[in-house]
């Protein structure tokens, strides 16, 4: 088939017309259904993050690693065949021990071609407790940056949605859905990532009568999964997230903000307030393009996106996957004019951020590329020839843990 300017859907079979439908009728041929949708912004709730010390930093990192949304899914992944015809290039689990959490998968659909297909996703229903607009925007940002992290050209990325929502005849429930849909349009148009399909699973509620005879309803939280499909022209350019060599440098791409609302830091510390992460679509598009240019230029040894758990979790995952140590000075993390809390520097889940591993001989080229694109880039540490993750802040250690302990906390919860 092909796109034509007739405004009709024309179906033929062996040269005979078997169907014709005017798009004007499809879109305007029946009166629209009108429903009431109401959105009331939640009242701001503060999240006061006390200064981190070494004991608290180690504890929070370990608890986030063991939380079910972050913990390794290796037991589940290994139940399925991800090697059909030997066409997988970047697998779900990467690194020398094949147990690091890949940002995305790269497959080679045509075995006589060097082109690859990238599959990634993004989702964080905790953000929906604050604002479904920012939840949807963040899910798109995460799906796209996961695809970009392994080598996908952002200009080729298309996305799909999967909405899971409660009873939409309630105006407030429908209002939250409409707000998420508006974000999908805003971000997709700004990034140039069209929605090519999707799935809606609405009215997910269960009603029952409690012991006193009162009718109760349980609704699922507003949730949106975004899947991203991208292309990579040459699969030899694909990058994985595991650290590669001691002595390489670590760079943080993107600004960090005091955005702990809906974060895993809040989850494990029992705090429910704070500001939910936003997406700067102009900066996001520029950042994705620049990271891709660095990958295409073979300037990066490894790339990992920052999502659940923020910088500390991204560094831990890269270290665990590569079985190499890391030393980071979180004092170099910046973004807020008024300064950041120590918790935000380590655990904020601000969007459009990557952690890059750069060989010393490529440092100047990487710095020049990002400076010319005016994309924030900060050197924050290096890869070490040991088995420890060390993060310092203002001259003192706030995380110091061995990889064996971190791997145990990360793998054990779902190691069935």
Question: What are 333-366's pLDDT values in tens digits?
Answer: 976 666 899 999 999 999 999 999 999 999 999 9
CA separation, residue 90 to residues 103, 158, 327 (Å): 9, 19, 27
Q: Where are the domains of the chain?
A: 54-411
Q: What class has domain 54-411?
A: alpha beta
- The CA distance from 336 to 243, in Å, is 29
Q: Residues, the chain, total?
A: 416
pLDDT score at 26:
87
Question: What are 88-127's pLDDT values in tens digits?
Answer: 999 999 999 999 999 999 999 999 999 999 999 999 999 9
User: Which residue do the tokens 């601000």 mark?
Assistant: 350
pLDDT score at 3:
83
Question: What are 267-289's pLDDT values in tens digits?
Answer: 999 998 999 999 999 999 999 99
Closest CA to 281 of 376, 370, 352: 352
pLDDT score at 83:
79
Low-confidence ranges of the chain (pLDDT < 70): 335-338
User: Judging by DSSP bridges, how do beta strands 116-122 and 93-94 pair with one another?
Assistant: unpaired
pTM over 0.85: yes
pLDDT score at 138:
99
């Amino acid at each position: 088939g092909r796109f034509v300017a007739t405004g009709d859907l024309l179906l033929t079979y062996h040269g005979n017309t078997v169907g014709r439908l005017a798009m004007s009728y499809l879109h305007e041929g029946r009166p629209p259904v009108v429903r009431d949708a109401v959105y009331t912004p939640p009242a701001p709730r503060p999240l006061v993050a006390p200064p981190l010390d070494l004991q608290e930093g180690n504890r929070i990192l370990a608890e986030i690693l063991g939380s079910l949304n972050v913990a390794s899914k290796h037991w589940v992944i290994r139940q399925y065949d991800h090697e059909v015809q030997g066409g997988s290039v970047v697998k779900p689990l990467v690194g020398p021990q094949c147990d690091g959490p890949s940002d995305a998968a790269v497959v080679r659909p045509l075995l006589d071609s060097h082109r690859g297909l990238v599959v990634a996703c993004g989702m964080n229903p905790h953000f929906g407790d604050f604002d479904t607009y920012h939840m949807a925007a963040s899910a798109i940002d995460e799906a796209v940056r996961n695809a970009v992290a392994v080598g996908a050209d952002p200009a080729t990325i298309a996305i799909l949605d999967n909405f899971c929502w409660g009873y939409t005849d309630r105006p407030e429930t429908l209002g939250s859905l409409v707000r998420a849909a508006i974000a999908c349009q805003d971000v997709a148009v700004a990034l140039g990532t069209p929605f090519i399909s999707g799935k809606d699973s609405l009215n997910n509620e269960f009603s029952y009568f409690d012991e006193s005879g009162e009718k109760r309803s349980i609704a699922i939280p507003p949730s949106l999964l975004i899947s991203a499909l991208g292309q990579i022209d040459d699969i030899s350019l694909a990058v994985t997230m595991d650290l590669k060599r001691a002595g390489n440098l670590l760079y943080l791409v993107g600004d960090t903000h005091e955005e702990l609302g809906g974060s895993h830091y809040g989850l494990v510390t029992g705090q429910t307030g704070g500001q939910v992460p936003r997406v700067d679509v102009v900066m996001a598009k520029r950042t994705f393009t620049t990271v891709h240019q660095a990958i295409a230029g073979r300037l990066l040894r490894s790339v990992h996106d920052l999502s659940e758990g923020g910088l500390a979790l991204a560094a831990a995952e890269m270290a665990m996957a590569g079985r190499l140590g890391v030393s980071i000075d979180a004092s170099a993390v910046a973004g807020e004019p008024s300064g950041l809390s120590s918790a935000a520097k380590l655990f904020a889940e601000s969007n459009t951020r990557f952690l890059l591993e750069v060989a010393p001989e490529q440092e100047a080229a990487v710095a020049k590329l990002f400076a010319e694109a005016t994309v924030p880039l900060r050197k924050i540490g290096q890869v070490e020839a040991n088995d420890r993750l060390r993060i310092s802040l203002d001259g003192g250690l706030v995380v110091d843990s061995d990889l064996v302990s971190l791997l145990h906390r990360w793998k054990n919860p779902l190691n069935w």
